[in-house]
A and B are shown apart, each in its own frame.
Chain A
Amino acid sequence: MHLLTDIEAGKTLCLECEWLSDEDERTCTQCGARIHQRKPFSLLRTWSYTIAALLFLIPANLLPMMVITKLGIDEGNTILEGVIYFVRHGEMSIGIIIFIASIIVPLFKIAALFFLLLVAQLGITDQAKNGVRLFRLIERIGKWSLLDIFVVAIMIAMVQFQNLASVKAGGAAFAFGVAVFLTMMATEAFDPRLMFDKEKT
């Protein structure tokens, strides 16, 4: 059974309020938001954000996430060293949480975005259903990769004992934050409907 799509019906869906306007409308007739049948320059923008995010992940993993000064001695920790710290101190579960949130999730998101882009770009419509499931997943887990940034923020605020010990944010914190934001922007720019559009009728 073939289902009628918005393009075939000559309609445009408002992504804000889910109202179906006629194709020739520029703004939603219900809520007034600007509407487009498909997100404008969706693939171009998604490609750009994804590649930029990948580039920011390099300094994010190589630079220290935070610098702990204990009795005058500086000690930098990259994301991976932070994970190892937890595992060594017997906090296996927290080590795994940080490892998943800070290393696996960002890489998985970028890999997934490349997959979605290829499906949409090359019109591999039989992968569209898997693609849309993947899209929903990365939309949902995206924000959790910022967990480490919040942890660093709390550490900075808590560990302020003048000469005894203090914590500063390292260069990776900024790079990592930017990388996570870029993957979120990429997800937002991607229009999953493009994966289905080339389906033969």
Chain B
Amino acid sequence: MKREPFLYQSACKECGVVLSYDKSDTYHHYYCPRCGALVYASGERFIRVIIMALSALIAFFPTLFMPILTLEMADQTVSTTLLGVVRQIFNEGNPAIGLMVGMTGMMIPLLMMTLLLLMLIPLHFRQRPLHLRALFQIYSSLRRWGMAEVYLISIPVSMIKLDTMGDLSIDPGFYLFFYFLICFYIAVLWFNPDDLWHGDALAH
């Protein structure tokens, strides 16, 4: 289906050159002619982003309470969950580090998915969401502080560190967290912020 061209004027975020591109073009990526920054890549349809964000959320809650690692050492067994890691650091008297890990590793990704759903579900049904501007501003300020992927990679790294202490095993929580992260990544990648104001119309 041939779409109506929709010329959009913007500027490069990284060097300030004024440019315009065709927003109805869903096939090409646009790069800045001066500095090479990615200027525009079309987003996916809202419904696909919603499905990804939802499956991330559904995977997320059980992940919090499922064991990720178990360590056996001289007939004592310790296993921990994502949430348990944070609780243990608080108990041990390091609230600053606990807060850092808890916020960047879990709370911010969770909040981002929730905000996506709050914005996109009404838009999908052609309703204007309440406080769209405020929701979007919170979302975009959180974007760079989500570090769930760093948390995930730190699990295998600490396994190698723990290896000399006793018998280690990976628990299902780890795999579910991995699944959450994939959904999270795809949802963030597919979501194009300025579709919020110009609607899903182009994608339909």
Report which A residues bind B (CB closer than 8 A).
3-7, 9, 11, 13, 15-20, 30-33, 86, 89, 91, 94, 97-98, 128-129, 132-133, 135-136, 139, 143-144, 146-147, 149-161, 164-165, 168-169, 173-174, 177, 181, 184, 188, 192-193, 195-197
Interface pair B194/A18, CB less than 8 Å apart: yes
Interface pair B150/A144, CB less than 8 Å apart: yes
CA distance A188 to B15 in the complex (A): 15
CA distance A11 to B196 in the complex (A): 22
Residues of A within 8 A of B105 (CB): 150
**Closest CB pairs A-B (n = 9):** A150-B154, A32-B133, A157-B88, A157-B85, A193-B16, A154-B158, A13-B11, A157-B80, A6-B11
Interface pair A192/B80, CB less than 8 Å apart: no
Interface pair B88/A18, CB less than 8 Å apart: no
Interface pair A188/B144, CB less than 8 Å apart: yes
Identify the closest chain B residue to A139 (Cβ).
B144
B182 at the interface (CB under 8 A from A): no
Identify the closest chain B residue to A176 (Cβ).
B97
The A-contacting residues of B in range 70-118, CB under 8 angstroms, are 71, 73-74, 76, 78, 80, 84-86, 88-89, 92, 94, 96-98, 100-101, 104-105
Indicate which residue in A16, A133, A158, A174 contacts B71 across the interface (CB closer than 8 Å): A158
Indicate which residue in B9, B74, B145, B154 contacts A161 across the interface (CB closer than 8 Å): B74
Residues of B within 8 A of A7 (CB): 16
CA distance A193 to B40 in the complex (A): 18
Interface pair A5/B10, CB less than 8 Å apart: no
Report which B residues bind A (CB closer than 8 A).
9-18, 33-37, 40, 69, 71, 73-74, 76, 78, 80, 84-86, 88-89, 92, 94, 96-98, 100-101, 104-105, 133, 136-137, 140, 144-145, 147, 150-151, 153-155, 157-158, 160-162, 164-165, 193-194, 196-197
Indicate which residue in B80, B101, B140, B193 contacts A150 across the interface (CB closer than 8 Å): B101
Interface pair A135/B150, CB less than 8 Å apart: no
Question: Given the interface contacts A154-B80, A158-B78, does A132 sit within 8 Å of B14 by beta carbon?
Answer: yes
Indicate which residue in B14, B18, B97, B147 contacts A169 across the interface (CB closer than 8 Å): B97
Interface pair B193/A17, CB less than 8 Å apart: yes
Residues of B within 8 A of A129 (CB): 35-36
Interface pair B78/A161, CB less than 8 Å apart: yes
Interface pair B147/A146, CB less than 8 Å apart: yes
Interface pair B158/A177, CB less than 8 Å apart: no
Could you pull out 28 A-B pairs where Cβ atoms are within 8 angstroms?
A3-B18, A3-B33, A5-B17, A11-B11, A13-B11, A16-B140, A20-B9, A30-B197, A31-B137, A86-B161, A98-B157, A147-B150, A150-B105, A150-B150, A150-B154, A151-B158, A153-B86, A153-B97, A156-B94, A157-B85, A158-B78, A158-B80, A159-B162, A159-B165, A165-B165, A195-B15, A196-B16, A197-B16
